[in-house]
Structure 1
Amino acid sequence: MKVRFTSGKSRDPFQEKGVRIPYAPARRTFPRWRWYFVVLLVSSPLLFFIAKVSVGVFWATSPGVIFMEKTPINSPTSGVLMEVHLREGQHIALGDVMAKVADPTLEMKRAPLTAERKVLMDYASRHISTEPFRDALVLAERVLKEEKAYRSKIQELVNAGAATKADLNEAQKRVLRAESDVIKAKIDLNLALAPSGEYKSQQVRLAQIDGELAAMADIMGGVALVSPVSGVVLAVFAVVNQALAQGAPLAVVADPQTASIVTFLNPKDLGFVEKGKKVRIRFPEGTMVEAFPVGRPTLAEPAPSSLSKPLTEIRQTVRVTLSTRSPIPEAFLVEGLPVTVHWGGRWPW
């Protein structure tokens, strides 16, 4: 028996046992390139994922944001907000009026102070007069002068033998009594001129009240709140007719002149951070600028969730501050604007 390893049947699809089989032509021929396109379309997510992973493996990048120095503006006094001249995105200059705060309780506080001042003024007008003590001193000095003149006459009479030594001694005693009266009158006058402790304290209180009333008069129409810095208003927290406590937040102002880049770097790429090392910043619309790290990083923190990429976990990152070699374009001076920092290849090639 002869063994065959090939079939004796015809391999021609158009013949069967020597009989030709006609086939109808296909209605439409599907081009091969379309099949390739369908395969490419179906596999594009996988290809994109592979490309992203490859870039992440061989090229060091980190997310970042535009950061500006911010100044919180708080109310220096309590009261009701009468006017607000701020809106988000507004540019303000140092000294610009931001708002006006009025205290509706000032009139109630002013009334008792005014009444107390009137009482103190009435007491001061009734204070003991020093005129009688001055008159007593003048009279005592006049008596002393007359007694001294009388003693001089007695001395002349004694010298002439017309008066006795006893008369001269009596005249001397009268002079001493007059001198004593002058000294007493001076003491009484000094005591009258020196006000009592109560009077002094009332005068001090009167001065305090005058100062408080003057301060109230200055702010009766409201206190104008001026900006302590120049910059852009990022947020406004207060509205007209809102009651404010002292220290309540009014707004937040950012200074565009202090704009820098803050990026959150993977700790394994910390070796890229060298002072003065050139890096590239990519803005959302594709513009690239050069920057360099400002000193060594000193803070590790979780990356903000808003900067986290899909399929990545929020982990500890190193916060790095970058300064651009040229001013950041004005169109990108937006607080919190996301950017991408390109540090370079992880392995040289």
Structure 2
Amino acid sequence: MMKIRFDSSKERSPTQEQGLKVLYAPGKRVAFRLRWYLILFLVASPFVWFFAKLIYGAWVIEAPAQLILPVVEIRARDAARVEHLAVKDGDTVKAGQLLLQMDNPEWRQRLGQLQALTAGAERSVAPAGSGLRNVLVRQLDRAREKLATVQRLRQDGAATQGEALAAASERDQRESELLAFDQREESLRLQPPATRDNAMQKAEEVWLNGRLQALRLQAQENAVVSDVVVNEGENVGSGTVLMRLQRTADPMVLIFLDPVDAAYAKPGQPLKLQLPDGHWLPAKVVNAADRVRRLPEDLRMPFAGAQNALLVSAAVDGEVPPGWLVNQLPLKARFPHDLSRLWR
């Protein structure tokens, strides 16, 4: 019977070849083994990545988030002319800082007439309050025309309900101002002629000074100027948007949470927010998820399709570093581990 052997002299003596010693044989065997290990690792790497991602996702709950700075619109209360712009796009302003200075030539002219009368100049032929009343009447007429235009556009679908309500509110305000002026004049007519005229002039002068002072617009709180929509020397009407500010106080965070992690979307739930530089900030959930929104394009993971996520509002505990107070800044939210959920 013939005996078959599956070993050879080369396997028993890998460093010998026909009686000669091969010096490079050990190194060649190591390189051959390492090459196979590398091939095995490359073939198994997708499976390793998949299981590592699965374990990491079960242990760590993360979700994309955005830092939101509320936008405040600064609008003109009265028709005026922009005299000076004190800020530009991107400027950081503090509470009380001047934003822009406007002026109303009609009010300024009437104020000069009243000051001349007070100093003993020749009295105007027109009654003391007629000039101001004409201005108020013109403002009321423009407000009514604006309301009619907005209502017509609303019927055509070119204006919103909010714009119609704003125009109606402006009309009511102008009517209230004219009514208050007429009531004040009526009460002054009951006084003696000399006293009545002086009182009317003084009341009108005080009113004009107050309205001119109101044309100096200042920041009500710390903010960032996101958009200046007017230029110096431009005439603006009542209700015109002058600029937009992004509030830096108490910024909100919107978290796009996976629906399977809805248990974490409860008010008071603590979490951490990671800034782009890797720094972590403590935060907590403010409102429970009440709506679903598609994940923004810039927050989607590579090769991920369109996703719908629960929209959760959170607030930062403390202050956000000034350099990161940027509207729609991408963040990463990480929730604490829930061992009971991991066990399930």
Residue equivalent to 1:72: 73
Distance in structure 1 (CA, Å) of the matches to 2:97 and 2:258:
43
Sort the Cα spacing of 1:97 and 1:41 in 2 relative to 1 into closer, same or farther, 3 A. Answer: farther
Distance in structure 2 (CA, Å) of the matches to 1:250 and 1:44: 57
Matched, 1:56 2:51: no
Unmatched runs of 5 consecutive residues or more in structure 2: 12-16, 114-122, 128-199
1:311 aligns with 2:306: no
1:286-340 CA distance string (max 9 Å, x none): 2223322224232322222222222223333222122334444445433322221
Count, aligned residues: 249
1:158-307 alignment, distance < 5 Å: 215=208, 223-227=215-219, 229-241=220-232, 242=234, 244-307=236-299
Q: CA RMSD in A?
A: 4.7
Distance of 1:297 and 1:6 partners within structure 2: 74
Determine if contact 1:102/1:222 at 8 Å carries over to the other structure.
no
Alignment partners' CA distance in 2, 1:217 and 1:273 = 49
Relative to structure 1, is the Cα distance of residues 218 and 71 closer, same or farther in structure 2, using a 3 angstrom cutoff? closer
Indicate if the aligned counterparts of 1:276 and 1:293 stay in contact, CA closer than 8 A.
yes
Does structure 1 conserve the Cα–Cα contact (< 8 Å) formed by 2:289 and 2:311? Answer: yes
The CA deviation string for residues 205-234 of structure 1, in whole angstroms up to 9 with x for no partner, is: xx89x969x849975x9943222x212214
- 1-structure distance, mates of 2:7, 2:245: 89
- Shift of residue 284, structure 1, vs aligned partner: 2.3
Give the TM-score normalised by structure 1: 0.54
Q: 1:39 to 1:283 in 2, by over 3 A?
A: farther
Q: How far apart are the structure 1 equivalents of 2:317 and 2:126?
A: 69
1:80-119 alpha-carbon deviations (Å, 9 max, x no partner): 5332111344332333221123467x59x98xx9xxx966
* CA distance in 1 between partners of 2:39 and 2:7 (Å): 36
Structure 1 Cα separation of the partners of residues 53 and 235 of structure 2: 53
Q: Helix, strand or coil: the match of 2:261?
A: helix
Q: Give the residue type in structure 2 aligned to 1:262.
A: L
Partner of residue 84, structure 1: 85
How far does residue 20 in structure 1 lie from its aligned partner after superposition?
4.3
| Contact 1:86–1:236 (CA under 8 A) maintained in structure 2 | no
For residues 43 and 236 of structure 1, do their structure 2 counterparts lie closer, same or farther at Cα, with a shift above 3 Å needed? farther
Shift in alpha-carbon separation, 1:118–1:69, aligned structure 2, 3 A: same
| 2-structure distance, mates of 1:275, 1:218 | 45
Within-5 A mapping of 1:98-113: 98-102=99-103, 106=106
2:314 aligned residue (313, 322, 345): 322
Larger radius of gyration: 1
Shift of 1:235: 0.6
Tell me the CA shift for residue 266 of structure 1: 1.5
**1:12–1:341 CA distance, 2 compared to 1 (3 A):** same
CA distance in 2, matches of 1:284, 1:46: 30
Three-state SS of the structure 2 residue aligned to 1:322 is strand
CA distance in 1, matches of 2:45, 2:80: 63
User: 3-state DSSP class of the match of 1:347?
Assistant: helix
Q: Once the 2 structures are TM-superposed, how far is the Cα of residue 120 of structure 1 from its aligned partner?
A: 4.6
Percentage of identical aligned residues: 19
Instruction: Give the distance between the partners of 1:92 and 1:10, measured in 2 at CA.
Output: 85
